[in-house]
Structure 1
Amino acid sequence: MSILDITTMTWSTLIQSQSPLTHILYTATLLPNGLIVYIGGESGSSLNLNFTDIAQIQIFDTKSYTWSTKV
């Protein structure tokens, strides 16, 4: 995951072992509490993409740099 620091306009790379599969064509919304909610799209590998269940929501916490899933 790449992170842009908007105060210094520099990019950094966050390496995580718990990040979800690659996602494309999703919608992402930043909430006031620092959570980014990812809904929809497709996930999987480049050779085997599947539609993501709209009831499965990926959440990234920008304060703790952790992922969680809500179903």
Structure 2
Amino acid sequence: AFAKFDLALSVGDSAEHFRCIVEYATALFDRGTVERYLGYLQAILRGMVADGQTVVNHIPLLSEAERRQLTEV
């Protein structure tokens, strides 16, 4: 099956949780990249839930391992 868009995220909700479905063009993205993007989205959502007054660009996206990797370069 081919993705209709390069990268698409569909979100649905129920009483207890959200369900996300990601479709992506495998010629453009690999699974690890898409999973990393979803991790960033998850970090944003967790930051917003933790403090509704938080400015989105103040929420850290990178994991500790990613930060360490970037600072070692």
TM-score category (smaller protein): under 0.3
Between structures 1 and 2, the one with greater strand share:
1
**Could you state the TM-score of these two structures normalised by the residue count of structure 1?**
0.25
Name the structure where helix makes up a greater proportion of residues.
2
Q: Which has the larger radius of gyration?
A: 2
Q: Which structure's relative contact order is higher, taking Cα pairs within 8 Å and 6+ residues apart?
A: 1
